[in-house]
Structure 1
Amino acid sequence: MSDLSFHQAEAHAEEDENYFISMTDMMVGILFIFIILLMVFALNFRQQTETSEDHIRKLEAAAAAARSVTAKLEEIQKDVRSEIDSISATDRVRAALLEEIQSKLRAQGLIVTIDPVSGVVRLGNNAINFPRSSAALDATASERVVILAKVLAEVLPKYTRIGTELPAHLETVFVEGHTDSTGGDPNNWPLSTERAVNTFRGLTEAEPQLRTLMNLAGTEVLSVAGYSSTRPIREFSNEDGRQRRIDLRFVMDANNLDRLRDVLELTDTMQDQLQFLQKSLDDVGVH
């Protein structure tokens, strides 16, 4: 897989995570339009003096459309709450995964840090590190890769096995290579990618079953990416050797496509009802 493909894969994962946020933004906009129309309708209704049957029938039709939209909004609110619960559950599953890996590595003498927000296990100097301008794993680093591989082989299957009771499964584990800022991007991009590839190769040679772990789409969970010096750790000097590191980034798949489709269908129906409401208001002279 090319470096461009690595970044496209991660960008796709990030787009999936943000898709529901965009959907809710759209629904807020629709709700705002509906409130304005309903206010205009209410004001006009109070001002009406005409009592013809046709006029009353049109007003009743507009009121029915308003009630229908209100019901649809309640359904959307329920789905939004459900999605929020799902996202929270996914975050809890990933946090538990990171903590389990950290605990098992600590028991083997490897101290790593975790970032539950971004889903990262950071392998610093105490775990896997590289000499400047090198992607080679020395004897110590190779031994630590073997330890890491055994822990991943023990922990990851329970988070990828279809049929478990977990609300989310692993979509991807990126083995991410990083460099410090010396040397410049022309050298550091391939260098960081080579570091990730060498680590990936060490992991899968030590525990070949890691390549058999599949996500819900049926593709391999383990992948690689290189970031040059673009993602420094803030608390370290950019020249610090700890920038020449490997991170593991865990991306979860909550399998929420069906729920998102339901929300989209509700918004389409709601839009139809809003158009009907506007037409009814036009018919009774509201402009």
Structure 2
Amino acid sequence: MTYQETVSDGHETVSDAETDGENYFISMTDMMVGMLFIFIILLMSFALLFRHQTDVLVKTTKQQSSKIAVAEAVGRELDETETRISKRLDEIREASQLRLRLLTELRDQLSREGLVVEISSSGDVLRLTEAAVQFPVNNFALLGDAKKNVGKIARVLARVLPSYSVCARGRIPPHCRTPAQASVETVFIEGHTDETGIDDMNWSLSAQRAASTYRELTTIAPELRRVLNRREEEILSISGYSSTRPIDVAGTLAAWTKNRRIDLRFVMDTDATSGLEEIKGLLQKMRVAIQGLKSQPQ
């Protein structure tokens, strides 16, 4: 290597090699600072991107959590509704079984009195056949054996009905039913005519036959008017159907005789209205919850 020296002013001058070394060091430092600066920028960009993605994820997770919470709440409501519906179905089945026991007991006791009556296939009607209660053509009067037989029916109803009805004041189970139990709500005394004659007249005739039967029942057994339902209303009621519900459609004299009849229809009370209103309220709550679930942003 060669060195240049000057002695004119008594000082040394730095060699070209040393100057080049310092310049190289400065260039490398600047480059490293620049790279570090770029790295910091990239790191900050990554951090900002990560934060944004995390915020989105948190937001999405919250939405998903909210939907899961709503779905779980709806599931609980469904379970509760299913339980209540099952309970109502059990109560309805219990009422149907109770009614069948009632009609069977009435039929058996009337049979011992020498009366032939039938239980409808639907299990809710006790049919007083023409052998028990028969009306003359175009007449609503109870005559002869028909009147005697209605008296027998009155006494059997007075014996049996109270055990299937809500307890009146002063009465306690098991000779009556508690308000929480299924019980008889109404006994419709239904009058019917045959298909002959004028239809308008048959409507009033069927209702008059029912009314004649009601009057005879309550005359023979006035205590029947004290048998009440859950709302403390009299159980016995009447209705007329003209010729609209024949049991024999043959159109013969024998068929017409069968159709001129009285039916006793037994309606049971299981306090269904309050139970169904409760279930309806639960379903409405679920509908609102599901609608809210659908309206949430995806």
Is TM (by shorter chain) over 0.5?
A: yes
Aligned equivalent of 2:60, options 47, 52, 55: 55
Q: Does 1:264 align with 2:280?
A: yes
Q: 1:148 Cα shift?
A: 0.4
SS at match of 1:52: helix
In structure 1, the gaps of 5 or more residues are 1-49
Q: Distance in 1 between matches of 2:267 and 2:231?
A: 13
- Please give the TM-score of this superposition, normalised by the length of structure 1: 0.77
Q: 1:129 Cα shift?
A: 0.8
Q: Distance in 1 between matches of 2:79 and 2:91?
A: 18
Structure number with greater CO (CA < 8 Å, separation at least 6) is 1
Q: Does 1:254 align with 2:270?
A: yes
The amino acid of 2:116's aligned partner reads I
The corresponding residue for 2:82 is: 77
The answer (yes or no) to whether the contact 1:176–1:225 under 8 Å persists in 2 is yes
In structure 2, the gaps of 5 or more residues are 1-54
The corresponding residue for 2:133 is: 128
Change (3 A) 1:188 1:216: same
The answer (yes or no) to whether the contact 1:98–1:116 under 8 Å persists in 2 is no
The corresponding residue for 2:243 is: 229
Aligned equivalent of 1:220, options 205, 227, 234: 234
The corresponding residue for 2:193 is: 179
The corresponding residue for 2:147 is: 142
The amino acid of 1:103's aligned partner reads D
The amino acid of 1:253's aligned partner reads D
Q: Distance in 2 between matches of 1:185 and 1:118?
A: 29
The corresponding residue for 1:274 is: 290
Q: How many residues align?
A: 234
- Please give the TM-score of this superposition, normalised by the length of structure 2: 0.74
The answer (yes or no) to whether the contact 1:106–1:112 under 8 Å persists in 2 is yes
Q: CA RMSD in A?
A: 1.9
The corresponding residue for 1:32 is: none
The corresponding residue for 2:120 is: 115
User: Identity of counterpart residues, as a percentage?
Assistant: 37
SS at match of 2:225: helix
Q: Distance in 1 between matches of 2:210 and 2:226?
A: 19
Q: Distance in 2 between matches of 1:101 and 1:236?
A: 29
